[in-house]
Amino acid sequence: MFLLSSAISAFVQLGLFLVIPFAWWAFTARHSVGFASWIGLRRPTWDGRRARLGVAILAWVVIGAASTALLQSLSGDVPAARFAGRGLGGLVPVLLFAIVQTSLAEELFFRGFLGKRVIARWGFAPGNAAQAIAFGILHVAMFASFADPIWLLAIGILTGASGWIVGWLNEEGAGGSILPGWALHASANLLVGTAAAFNLMG
């Protein structure tokens, strides 16, 4: 039952996050480009400057670790808490949560849709800032019911910075592909979910 509910939750959330992007594409671009390419689901074309890519990924890891530590210190009621103590039986639900429900849905909407549309209209700097701010606001809203304002500000800054780095990596480092950001996002959520399943979260 838990596996079924996890699968339903994952794909319903993915579908909800795709409603606006798909409708936008259907009305504005379906005759000129396929949906997958339009939203960034394509093979990366890597920037040759590996050092700056490495620095960006390292910065993202540090910010991600800080975000996770902050959220864990605030409350056990984080999204991955549903897997607590489930062990091996929780691995498939964790995979659905990490790869589909959170990372794919959020990367498609924030980096694939919102960021790209604003970038196309006003350029990279405003577009990447817009999606990062929206990403931060989403995470603030998730914890607004129990976190103090100062902690909410920290959550917004950290998750917004994480979103900005992923947007930069996708657009400036990978030729507009959202696959690198999806991979990073999914990896982080997979680690957190697996740690929760095996009671390794502290």
Model pLDDT for residues 134-147, shown as the tens digit of each residue:
999 999 998 888 88
The more confident residue out of 47 and 127 is: 127
Tell me the mean pLDDT in the region 125-129: 98
Q: What is the pLDDT of residue 50?
A: 85
Q: Of 84, 108, 106, which Cα lies nearest the Cα of 94?
A: 84
pLDDT tens by residue, 22-40: 999 999 999 999 999 999 9
Indicate if the pLDDT at residue 52 is higher than 80.
yes
- Kindly indicate the confidence band of residue 77, based on its pLDDT and cuts at 50, 70 and 90: low
- Cα 122-127-131 angle, rounded to 5 deg: 150
Residue 201 near residue 91, CB atoms below 8 Å: no
Domain ranges of the chain: 95-202
Q: Evaluate whether 48 touches 178 at the Cβ level (below 8 Å).
A: no
